[in-house]
Amino acid sequence: MDSILEVEDIHTYYGEAYVLQGLSLRLRGSEILGILGRNGVGKTTLVNSIVGFNPPRRGRILFKGEDITRLSSVVTVRRGMGLVPQGRRVFPTLSVEENLIVAERGGGRWNLERVYAAFPRLNERKSHRARQLSGGEQQMLAIGRGLMTNPDCLIMDEPSEGLAPIVIEDLWQTIGRLKAEGLSILLVEQNASLALKLADRVHVLSKGRIVFSGLPKELEANDEIRSRFLGI
């Protein structure tokens, strides 16, 4: 399949602050595209531009061939863009199950039963309030909620943030399974070595621009890019 998501030369601002300075990318069907870069380079701004929280002032975004540049986040999600936001942002006082149900967008393969099958831990804790969950469980809930919208494309913003290595290992297996089932994933990660384990291709961002694009093994072999832009 060709590209499910195409970002064409977008320029995004917060007021006067010029953050994304001409950024383009393509996410193909059933692949994981890694977006890497240090603090503050514009990773979340890219997510906000795509999803419709902060549309670009210039440039174009196509999703499944249709222009979504000016659409609100509600409409974008309804069209099949799933978001797992940075910091998880589950509803703390709602139960696990309520968090999942409020996100439900029918008509696809994902439903409560399948989310519980993918994340047995959520099933065990379905009547707990989200704020009672551990960080790893909350991340699973955030992903489960993203899946409940039955997305064709899932954007994950720093899923490993704040989680213990053993929890991340589990999470990475789950993300790998989602990809194997055909989901296209934009994986935003500050932790480059982790992203390299999953991604099919990667882009490295610096100051709102892409400074490197390639295969994980090409980035692994590029000491200059890794030390200048990723600090590894």
Ligand X SMILES: Nc1ncnc2c1ncn2[C@@H]1O[C@H](COP(=O)(O)OP(=O)(O)OP(=O)(O)O)[C@@H](O)[C@H]1O
Binding partner selected for residue 76 from ligand X, Mg ion, none, CB under the kind-specific 5 to 8 Å limit: none
Binding partner selected for residue 55 from Mg ion, ligand X, none, CB under the kind-specific 5 to 8 Å limit: none
Shortest distance, position 54 Cβ to ligand X, whole Å: 8
13 vs 57: CA distance, rounded Å: 7
Binding mask 82-101 for Mg ion (x = CB under 5 A): ----x---------------
Question: Could you say whether residue 12 binds Mg ion (CB under 5 A)?
Answer: no
Cα–Cα distance list, 103 to 3, 21, 98, 110, 159 (Å): 26, 33, 9, 11, 18
51 vs 44: CA distance, rounded Å: 10
Binding partner selected for residue 37 from Mg ion, ligand X, none, CB under the kind-specific 5 to 8 Å limit: ligand X
Question: Could you say whether residue 44 binds Mg ion (CB under 5 A)?
Answer: yes
228 vs 232: CA distance, rounded Å: 8
Shortest distance, position 46 Cβ to Mg ion, whole Å: 9
Q: Which residues bind ligand X (CB under 6 A)?
A: 14, 17, 19, 37, 39-45, 86, 190
Residue in the block written with tokens 């996410």: 27
86 vs 156: CA distance, rounded Å: 7
Shortest distance, position 206 Cβ to ligand X, whole Å: 10
Question: For the CA atoms of 102, 103, 109, 110, what is the dihedral angle to 10 degrees?
Answer: -80
Shortest distance, position 205 Cβ to ligand X, whole Å: 7
Residues in contact with Mg ion by the rule CB under 5 A: 43-44, 86
